Structure 1
């Protein structure tokens, strides 16, 4: 029996060494898994986003961490996003408060009594950030409490094990006592296995104490070696089964890629292996080498995948570097044309779409630096564009001031009640100056025009009321224009004689005739446009597009000659609506094309959509040309 006990002590020493080797490997593997699978969070310039977009981002992050089955990585990512948004929010709040304070001081002459309440979106961003931060704190506090609880549980189990050892040494043990003691011992083992992790500084000490007490327990029992051998044979069978499971995971890589889920499953199996007691000494090292080789297959595959991922990250970096180099010239772009600025904006937005479409991650430091430079270049371009439009708006404000002055002059002439040739010429000169002034801010376009037109119309109405001779002249002009319309209608019936030259002659004759009575103005104008439409349709050598252009030019000429521009405003609105509809249709069709698979049927559908897009683009160009003609007139 003494010899058996000596062999048992040596065996225990080897088991302790094996257990320490397993614990060390566990730490190394976990560290390696953490380093190699740290998630890359794409860099985003949150200062470029609106408050509504920031709210949406935080709401999505909050939803991801409150959803069932969410992982700590999601919580870490959400807290990181909230932390990066915080300085952006502080900057927004500071700017808004400073703007409100400046306005308050300008209005009240001082800061006394100033109170400022942030808008709902700003408060929402603040609230979401605090909620995410609170969830993070609660999570880690819970983790710490759980570890403290597990520490207390394991400390209690060690005390129970010591008490069991003391009882074994202080009393004679019969068969029933051996059985109850063994059952209590196994119960302590099961509870120890079920207890969770604890704070790392105490983990090694507790495990060392636990293993030492277990060894003492088996040493104090007369049936130690028999039970140990049985337990070892059982452990050998269980460890062999665990080896087979890990080997099956390695074989599965032949038909599926390496994933984090596979590594997690392998780690779970490793946890089971570690908690199993020793196998017979002749099998112990063989089983461990078999298990380690099976694990190595998985980690070799994971390392190879990570090397491939590094290659992909570098390729993604190089592609994004080309995009950044392509937009660098945009930072110095300058133009005095709205159309050219809008064209350049479409170009740079296309590059931005390419950047966003590259979803892969880049090397951490290089990618972060490149992202900052890319978004800074975009910001510079749009700052320059904003400065151009601010100057343009300033010019329109000046135009508004000049048109307001013309309104005042026209209203002053009207108030005098005079209608002599001198005042009439002044009104006409005011109308010419009005046409020479550019556009005003969009929100004042109709009101300022109506004001000026009202003053001019009132002057000429007053003049008509005082001068019957002029009214007779208007009646004669009405007759002349009616005769001219009838001649145009008659000419339209003879398609062989319908020509552009004759059309120009008709237009010139119409222009040479003066005003008609106001009550007949709209009717004669409509009839004239209808006659011109009919005549243009009769000109055989013109395409439908050229005919439509000729009719539009006729309407524009009417406005330039002092006729009502109400129809042109209506036509402008209709053309804008058609342009918007066509642009939406084109965008939808272009998006649909991307979803067509490669097949005969999809190729036909794709060709049909491309035909629709080309046709719509042609219509869009025509409508934009018509819109530019109308805008020049009004």
Structure 2
């Protein structure tokens, strides 16, 4: 008897410790599951949704609750949705009311008498949100009431168990009484097992009292000691089976990833384990440690998966951040070229494809903000591009009108049948204007060009037909000019007979000869200038400045006679460069004079710089004179 009582006390202490461990682990498991549900919550920007879409979201959540029953996860999800929609709804209300007030003040002139009623969709969102909160409150109130009821039930069961123990100690033991007592005891156990959860502050106390009373019951009933041992043996077998189930779940992780379903199944097995009675004391702790090791392995895998998931989420965020930073400069891009816009669009679309290809999730708040900024940046780029093409299309319509007018002008000139120089110049000017005008709408591009080209080609074909006689005259002029050039070259070889008067005669004769064929114009002009330069060099009485003046005048006369002005342009640029250099030198020297001190040495230096300035100014006047001659000619 003493040995059995001692065994009961040890069993009582061991099971108290085991139960506390179980309660602690249960809290940890619930916390883990809550964190998991929060991690997997979808990421939606509700401010981008319409009122109708918000109503549909809330109605869908209520429909899901009504179809699947009131469950904590569904209520929590629906209530979280309503909570996130609330600031969006407040903003909508404020915007609608301010718009209505603004319109009222615009009509009446003041805010007096203003009344406002929100539209049906806004009221619907409000009503659905309140209904969700009501369902949540009702559910948790019912849960609390159920816990209170369970507390009462379990307190009553403990009292019945105490009464049973007291009866065991006062009445005689017989087969009938032992059977009745045992049946009542098993009934109390079944009812305790069937009773639900209670408020956590009382849970540990009730479990400790329950296990203590059970131990006392078995300890006080010596006749049932063997039955108790058999029951513990059976519990040990059942707990071993539950250990195997959890171990099988652990083993399954070798071929599949960790999921919520695996955790839910392990939690269910854990509930079964909790409600089983004690095993033999020599196996009780071993079984529990075996079960706990397997369960810990599952949750270690889950925590490792969470850590890996967070790492993956951060890596995904970092990659998307780089993509966002890469497209930010595109928001300020601007160009007048379609080709360049299309090239930039390809670059932007490539970044968008990279973004979409990254399928993993990001940290909730940071990812939400980054996504918002990324799509806003894309929107800005395509808005700018659309604005460019809208302006381009408008400009092309204007260009079409301008080119239609040019076609009409060219056709009007062609209709006169006159191919004089004035009309030819007009056609040439129309062609220049055509080139200066930009593109027209694509569908008119070929037709408008063909129309203009046809009018211009017809005019010049008509002109060419009349110019065959002129070409013969140009060939004769070419022969005369070549003959004149050869005479100038021969005259240049006789330096004694070279004079400015003879040069003037050569120039007069050159001016009297008409145009030469266009293909020979440049070569003839170049040879003539060379001959004149040689002739001027042969005039011995002229200074170098007079020779340079004579050559310049010859080139100017050529331009006035309608020859190419390309050489004069080059000479003009050269003179401008020299003028600029002289002006800079004069300015520098004048500044330097200001720094000379009053001394004999400084006076000499000052005199030297003044001579330089005087000489440079004379050169500057001469160059400016040459420049004016050239600019007057061209």
Note the 1:196-345 alignment, pairs <5 A. 196-332=196-332
CA–CA separation in structure 2 for the residues paired with 1:506 and 1:184: 117
Shift of 1:229: 0.7
Q: Cα offset for 1:2?
A: 3.0
Give per-residue Cα distances to partners, 1:352-393, cap 9 Å, x unaligned.
6765664533235xxx23532552465577689989999999
Q: In structure 2, what is the Cα distance between the partners aligned to 1:386 and 1:505?
A: 38
The corresponding residue for 2:25 is: 25
CA change 1:106–1:300 in 2 (3 A) is: closer
Distance 1:164 1:90 in 2: 62
* Partners of 2:20 and 2:204 within 8 A in 1: no
CA contact (8 A) 2:101 2:111 kept: yes
Task: Tell me if the contact between 1:45 and 1:372 (Cα under 8 Å) persists in the aligned partners.
Answer: no
How do 1:468-507 residues align onto structure 2 when only pairs under 5 Å count? none
Tell me whether 1:145 sits opposite 2:145 in the alignment. Answer: yes
Of 372, 378, 385, the match for 2:369: 372
1:342-361 matched pairs, under 5 angstroms: 355=355, 358-361=358-361
The 1:80–1:38 alpha-carbon spacing in structure 2 relative to 1, beyond 3 Å, is: closer
Change beyond 3 A, Cα 1:165–1:183: same
Distance in 1 between residues matched to 2:169 and 2:74, nearest whole Å: 52
Which has more radius of gyration? 2
Q: What is the CA–CA distance in structure 2 between the aligned matches of 1:247 and 1:221, rounded to whole Å?
A: 37
Q: Distance in 1 between matches of 2:196 and 2:386?
A: 64
Structure 1 equivalent of residue 82 of structure 2: 82
Alpha-carbon distance in structure 2 between the residues aligned to 1:37 and 1:52: 27
For residues 347 and 122 of structure 1, what CA distance do their matches in structure 2 show?
A: 42
Structure 1 residue 507, shift from structure 2 partner = 9.4
Distance of aligned partners of 1:254 and 1:119 in 2 relative to their CA distance in 1, 3 Å threshold:
same
Residues 15 and 278 of structure 2 are in contact (CA less than 8 Å); yes or no, is this contact kept in structure 1?
A: yes
Unaligned runs of 5+ in 2: 402-406, 417-440, 453-634
Distance (Å, rounded) in 2 between the aligned partners of 1:243 and 1:371: 43
Q: Report if aligned partners of 1:321, 1:370 keep a CA contact under 8 Å in 2.
A: no
Aligned residues: 420
Gaps of 5+ in 1: 394-398, 400-434, 440-503, 514-544, 557-634
Distance of aligned partners of 1:437 and 1:184 in 2 relative to their CA distance in 1, 3 Å threshold? same
Alignment partner of 1:322: what SS?
helix
1:578-617 to 2 correspondences below 5 Å? none
SS of the aligned residue for 1:223 comes to: helix
Range 287-296 or range 199-208, more displaced: 287-296
Q: Matched residues in 2 for 1:101 and 1:245: separation?
A: 67
| CA RMSD, Structure 1 to Structure 2 (Å) | 4.3
Q: In the TM superposition, what is the alpha-carbon distance from 1:437 to its structure 2 partner? A: 13
Distance 2:101 2:11 in 1: 81
Distance 1:153 1:9 in 2: 27
For residues 432-581 of structure 1, the aligned pairs below 5 Å read 508=411, 550-551=446-447
- Give the drift of 1:66: 3.6
Calculate the TM-score normalised by the size of structure 2.
0.57
In 2, Cα distance between equivalents of 1:221 and 1:546: 104
Instruction: After TM superposition, give the deviation of residue 97 of structure 1 in Å.
Output: 1.4
CA shift for structure 1 position 346: 9.6
TM-superposed deviation, 1:183: 0.6
Contact map agreement 2:22 2:274 (CA 8 A) in 1: yes
On the 8 A contact 1:331/1:378 being kept in 2, the answer is no
Distance 1:36 1:378, change over 3 A: closer
2:72 aligns with: 72
CA distance in 2, matches of 1:505, 1:338: 29
What residue is the counterpart of 1:116 in the other structure? Answer: 116
Alpha-carbon distance between aligned partners in 1 of 2:119 and 2:400, rounded to the nearest angstrom: 37
Residue 193 (structure 1) shift: 0.8
Distance 1:232 1:98 in 2: 74
- Residue in structure 2 matched with residue 57 of structure 1 by the alignment: 57
Q: How much does 1:119 deviate?
A: 2.7
Does 2:44 match 1:44?
A: yes
8 Å CA contact 1:148–1:199 kept in 2: the answer is yes
